Amino acid sequence: MENLGERLLRLRKEKGLTQEEVGARLSLSPQSVSKWENGTSLPEIDTLGRLADLYGVSTDYLLGRDDAKERRSSSPTIVIHVEEGGKEEVNITLPYPLAKMFLRKGMHLGTEKTDGVLSPEQLDEAVASGARGRIVEVKDEDTYVTIAIE
């Protein structure tokens, strides 16, 4: 039977994330993520909910109380991460309906460099098809933007 650390490690790898990325998305250090995965410490209770959201599973699944991996909520989240000049500038998680509303109102997700890269219709299509993970990745000499569906 898989323990919490093993489950966190497997879920992180399934999402294609590094410990640094998980730490950044949770505003915690990558060392904390490493300690959880190695079983030398446990995440705080409020962090468990954020981990479940990040990995798209229930807290019961994380804790081994439920074998159903799929989260029962049908609405995914949109994660926007922007780094400029090697420094994290934006790290936002939005419920899908809110992200869709922003796009329909003409706002952009990410930066001006991602304008036109993702339309409301493309976001709808990606979500409807069950797409998960990074759907937009824009890099230039000093800016790195990712938009993911989780």
Q: How many degrees, rounded to 5, is the angle at CA 15 between CA 11 and CA 19?
A: 75
Range in 40-54, 72-86, 93-107, 121-135 with the lowest mean pLDDT: 72-86
Please indicate whether residue 73 or residue 26 has the higher confidence score (pLDDT): 26
- Topology adopted by domain 4-62: 434 Repressor (Amino-terminal Domain) (1.10.260)
In b/e form, how buried is each residue of 111-150, taking b as 16+ CB within 10 angstroms? eebbeebbeeeebeebbeeeeeebbbeeeeeebbbbbbbb
Whole-number Å distance between alpha carbons of 144 and 137:
7
pLDDT at 72: 46
Could you tell me the pLDDT band of residue 70, with boundaries at 50, 70 and 90? low
Residues of the chain with CATH 1.10.260.40: 4-62
Whole-number Å distance between alpha carbons of 77 and 97:
9
* Mean pLDDT to the nearest integer, 135-147: 83
Which are the contacts of 63, defined by CB distance < 8 A and separation ≥ 6?
4, 48
Q: What is the pTM of this model?
A: 0.49
- Whether residue 48 is predicted with pLDDT greater than 60 in this model: the reply is yes
- Whether residue 66 is predicted with pLDDT greater than 80 in this model: the reply is no
